[in-house]
Structure 1
Amino acid sequence: MEHDPIAETVASMIPRARTELAELVAFRSVADLAVSPRSESEKAARWIADALRAEDFQDVSVLDMSDGWQSVYGCLPGPADAPTVLLYAHFDVQPPLDEAAWDTPPFTLTEREDRWYGRGAADCKGAVLMHLLALRALKAHGGVPVTVKVVVEGSEEQGTGGLERYVRDHPEMFAADAILVGDAGNFRRGVPTVTAALRGITMLRLEVTTLRGDLHSGQFGGVAPDALTALLKILSSLVGDDGSARVDGLPADGHWEGLEYPEDDFRADAGLLDGVRLTGTGTVGDRLWSRPSIGVMGIDCPPVEGATPTLQARARAAISLRLPPGQDARSATDMLTAHIERHTPWGARVRIEPLGQGEPFRADVSGPAYRTMADAMATAYPGEDMRLGGFGGGIPLCGALTALYPRAEILLLGLNEPEAHIHAVNESVSVDELRRLATAEAHFLRAYRETPRT
């Protein structure tokens, strides 16, 4: 294999990166006051700001967003005629779910078999270290040849749009020739992938009420409507018999033409039990990246333990609707709301509250930044060609960046390969992926300085 000083330098910096990621993971920076205090997110923001200052970034700021959370910004100026690259990550994380179900404490970074475990290790605090490793490696080999802007968001997981609105109000701060969004992942470990399509999302909370108070089911059942049953009928109306999304007026027949995802691989990655069928129709790529899907995020109902034969006066659920590129989140939200109202049975009262939304995204992959990244990935992953894939999750900022900077190329990469189990218990990051992707990013930044952009 050809000698690569950049890769060797990145590898030598991995022990320091582990120490730093452990510090960052230790902050319980869930952007939800019902889960974590605001001070945890504020401490994470200060940590990132200090890290940028230590790398000679200028104009480093902890920015207050309109949604009540913070983001961190800094700029590392390059030569006067150099292009500008914006690097993105986020430091907020999903709640740990059942902490007792983790093999090791979720906010204590723990190493096992070349993986580091902890909430946010991959999604997306690890990407902060990926960016820092790339920049440090370049500084060790002559300096960073482009202007680099970094923005690290503090409320991406909540979809509340604080950074999106800030970018729209301050477009000059984030203008760039290329944008590297470090919140995606390889198709699988060792397969270099740039994500070219993202599904968007809209989230709603619905509350169904039917009675002034709970009732004895023996005395009133069969005549008085149960709110929980009404809620279940609404939720059932949102999926077909095959499990695919069925929202009145919303197309659900898209076709994916990119990277293939074999069904057996998907079953293994998703951990499906033997005999359990996949939902929907079409290829896995069709269903995962080109069609909408419905999920129930949570439901309020009496627990089985201690349950009594009672009719419920009130029931609530939180749902999410994932949207493929080409569909509009606002229009889809209107369709979903109308569907719920139309399918609410028995004249029950339903109150619908929006929780957040993000637009889907499709990249133009024909530009010079993609060619430069393909070469960089080939260097970091010898013998492997860069693939173009989709990602089922959404990154709300991408839509705002596309609208503001239509000439900028947006590339999505990161550490969220299937084994990372992001948003689940025992989230982890592959140390090898961190090393290789930081190496690829460093090579990209070095080569992009000389890449023709017309």
Structure 2
Amino acid sequence: MTSAHSEIPQNKQGHAGNTPVEELSGAVNDSFDTTLESLKELVSIPGIAWASFDPKELDRSADAVAALVKAAGMDDVRILRCDKADGTPGGPAVVARRPAEDGKPTILLYAHHDVQPPGDRSLWNSEPFVAEEREGRLYGRGAADDKAGIMAHLAAYRAVTQVLGDGFGLGVTFFFEGEEEAGSPTFRTFLEEHQELLRADVIVVADSSNWKVGVPALTTSLRGLVDGTFEVRVLDHAVHSGMFGGPVLDAPTLLARLIATLHDDDGNVAVAGLVARDDVAVDLAEEDYRADASVLDGVKLAGSGTIASRLWTKPALSIIGMDVPSVDVASNTLIPAARAKFSMRLAPGQDPGSAMDALKAHVESHAPFGAKVTFTPGERGNAFSTDTSSAAAKVALWALGESWGVKPVEMGIGGSIPFIADLMEVYPDVQILVTGVEDPDSRAHSANESLHIGDFRHAVLAEALMLARLNAEGLKG
């Protein structure tokens, strides 16, 4: 069948070592329309793991993914879940396992089938849960994050088993989580309960991004994360702003003054004791960053050092929510208390506990006008750094370059994937690779989320090449 989408050019050499590049490319091309249609069907399911959304849709999403895994040739397919700390059920994970032949390594392929809520429908140019192709991109919630990751894994597996047949002896485990967008509340418990089922030599986490359209990347570092809230209180209760205003400042004003101490005049994080480095090997042009982040003309960028270091190897501190009366319901009163939620990204090498302590000390020591400040810590997660000299990383970089036809970028990501720290703690000897299907314009978590269809095809082939080469060569140094 000829695809309606541009195909991957066939490799003239046909093989790279023991890897049948041309045959795998042809297999990916031949089934790509089917792969894309399956992705569209997954996008149509609003599986959201938040308590305020219908859990039946999340179950329907897991069922659909399990059916696709079985169709890809896996016999041992299970839908598993663990309870949260409060006793309520966690999200349904789809797990399937093909045992390795003697002497072959096992690779675990991770992605997640749950998605973010659609948000404000008026901001979407098409229905969030109806996949729509426009100008070479596929639009819809989950089209990129992370149902495309699931389909990349499945399509690559189908291609390599089709081409290699009985010659494929690699152990393969699929682990498609069902609560990642809700913070993976049962992830650690799940790992511990199913430790042997999920044990692998290599883990591929397909939940990141490429450098840009047409240029692949292996994500070699992720920032850690701490979050929580701090509250400023100045009064026991609200009072009339005319009768009492002047001698005492309201809580929102003092909260604003406290927030202003978190950064210096250049926009660097002003919390003492945090790890920050400016040693990134590649950089991102300011004009590219401004375009990708939709920075308005005239807005000065914050911080010092290269753009890439500010994104990858230095802390970033944001206020992501505030509890103050909204303008529409405001009254002439002095507000007694106001609260802010913070999210702080941490450089690789930063201990999350030390970072949380440093931020707590800063907030408490900068209490404006003697206001009572209450600091409440929230979630925390470790940063991640890849050993690019590992056998698995070398194979992955080769496969990305072979598929795209250009040298891949070893890039950091400003975001965090906290569960990777759990994987490293439970499986300390595993080699973890973070790949992805997104690009800077994918707008994951935002309105008009989309996937570049051409790069999606390349991602499928890259993973098929990686599986084939690991099958042939194992994890040689």
Normalising by structure 2, we get a TM-score of: 0.88
Matched, 1:134 2:152: no
1:33 Cα deviation (Å)?
1.6
1:198 Cα deviation (Å)?
0.4
Is residue 438–residue 452 contact of structure 2 (8 Å, CA) maintained in 1?
Answer: no
Aligned to 1:24: 42
Aligned to 1:187: 211
Is residue 232–residue 254 contact of structure 2 (8 Å, CA) maintained in 1?
Answer: yes
Aligned to 2:17: none
* Within-5 A mapping of 1:13-412: 13-34=31-52, 36-67=53-84, 68-70=89-91, 71-143=93-165, 144-251=168-275, 253-305=276-328, 307-382=330-405, 384-412=406-434
1:367 Cα deviation (Å)?
1.5
Q: Percent identity?
A: 37
Aligned to 2:25: 7
Q: Mean alpha-carbon deviation: is it higher for 57-66 or for 356-365?
A: 57-66
Q: Mean alpha-carbon deviation: is it higher for 195-204 or for 292-301?
A: 292-301
Q: Mean alpha-carbon deviation: is it higher for 149-158 or for 280-289?
A: 149-158
Deviation by residue 1:399-430 (Cα, 9 ceiling, x = unmatched): 22223333322111111210111122211111
CA distance in structure 1 between the aligned counterparts of 2:125 and 2:381, rounded to whole angstroms = 33
1:378 Cα deviation (Å)?
2.4
CA distance in structure 2 between the aligned counterparts of 1:400 and 1:354, rounded to whole angstroms = 20
Is residue 208–residue 351 contact of structure 1 (8 Å, CA) maintained in 2?
Answer: yes
Is residue 160–residue 355 contact of structure 1 (8 Å, CA) maintained in 2?
Answer: no
> AA paired with 2:476?
R
> AA paired with 1:295?
S
CA distance in structure 1 between the aligned counterparts of 2:54 and 2:230, rounded to whole angstroms = 26
1:307 Cα deviation (Å)?
3.5
1:58 Cα deviation (Å)?
4.4
Is residue 90–residue 156 contact of structure 1 (8 Å, CA) maintained in 2?
Answer: yes
Is residue 73–residue 158 contact of structure 2 (8 Å, CA) maintained in 1?
Answer: no
- State the secondary structure of the residue aligned to 1:174: coil
C-alpha change, 1:127 and 1:274, in structure 2 (3 Å) is same
1:295 Cα deviation (Å)?
1.2
1:290 Cα deviation (Å)?
0.4
1:350 Cα deviation (Å)?
3.9
C-alpha change, 1:214 and 1:37, in structure 2 (3 Å) is farther
Is residue 92–residue 156 contact of structure 1 (8 Å, CA) maintained in 2?
Answer: yes
Deviation by residue 1:376-419 (Cα, 9 ceiling, x = unmatched): 1222112x112211011111222222233333221111112101
1:263 Cα deviation (Å)?
1.5
Is residue 45–residue 62 contact of structure 1 (8 Å, CA) maintained in 2?
Answer: yes
- State the secondary structure of the residue aligned to 1:86: strand
Normalising by structure 1, we get a TM-score of: 0.93
- State the secondary structure of the residue aligned to 1:415: strand
Q: For this pair of structures, how many residues does the alignment match?
A: 451
Which 4+ runs in 1 deviate beyond 6 A? none
Is residue 90–residue 185 contact of structure 2 (8 Å, CA) maintained in 1?
Answer: no
Unaligned runs of 5+ in 1: none
Cα-Cα RMSD: 2.1
CA distance in structure 2 between the aligned counterparts of 1:59 and 1:334, rounded to whole angstroms = 46
CA distance in structure 1 between the aligned counterparts of 2:258 and 2:300, rounded to whole angstroms = 23
CA distance in structure 1 between the aligned counterparts of 2:259 and 2:56, rounded to whole angstroms = 37
Is residue 27–residue 40 contact of structure 1 (8 Å, CA) maintained in 2?
Answer: yes
1:347 Cα deviation (Å)?
4.1
C-alpha change, 1:232 and 1:213, in structure 2 (3 Å) is same
Q: Mean alpha-carbon deviation: is it higher for 231-240 or for 303-312?
A: 303-312
Is residue 207–residue 434 contact of structure 2 (8 Å, CA) maintained in 1?
Answer: yes
CA distance in structure 1 between the aligned counterparts of 2:279 and 2:446, rounded to whole angstroms = 26
Deviation by residue 1:17-51 (Cα, 9 ceiling, x = unmatched): 333222322333333223x2333322222222232
Aligned to 2:18: none
1:306 Cα deviation (Å)?
5.2
Is residue 156–residue 396 contact of structure 1 (8 Å, CA) maintained in 2?
Answer: no
1:445 Cα deviation (Å)?
0.1
Is residue 158–residue 356 contact of structure 1 (8 Å, CA) maintained in 2?
Answer: no
Deviation by residue 1:243-279 (Cα, 9 ceiling, x = unmatched): 222223323x312333221222211211211111111
> AA paired with 1:378?
G
- State the secondary structure of the residue aligned to 1:275: coil
Matched, 1:421 2:474: no
Unaligned runs of 5+ in 2: 1-8, 13-21
CA distance in structure 2 between the aligned counterparts of 1:409 and 1:418, rounded to whole angstroms = 26
- State the secondary structure of the residue aligned to 1:184: strand
Q: Mean alpha-carbon deviation: is it higher for 428-437 or for 340-349?
A: 340-349
Q: Mean alpha-carbon deviation: is it higher for 162-171 or for 132-141?
A: 162-171
1:169 Cα deviation (Å)?
4.5
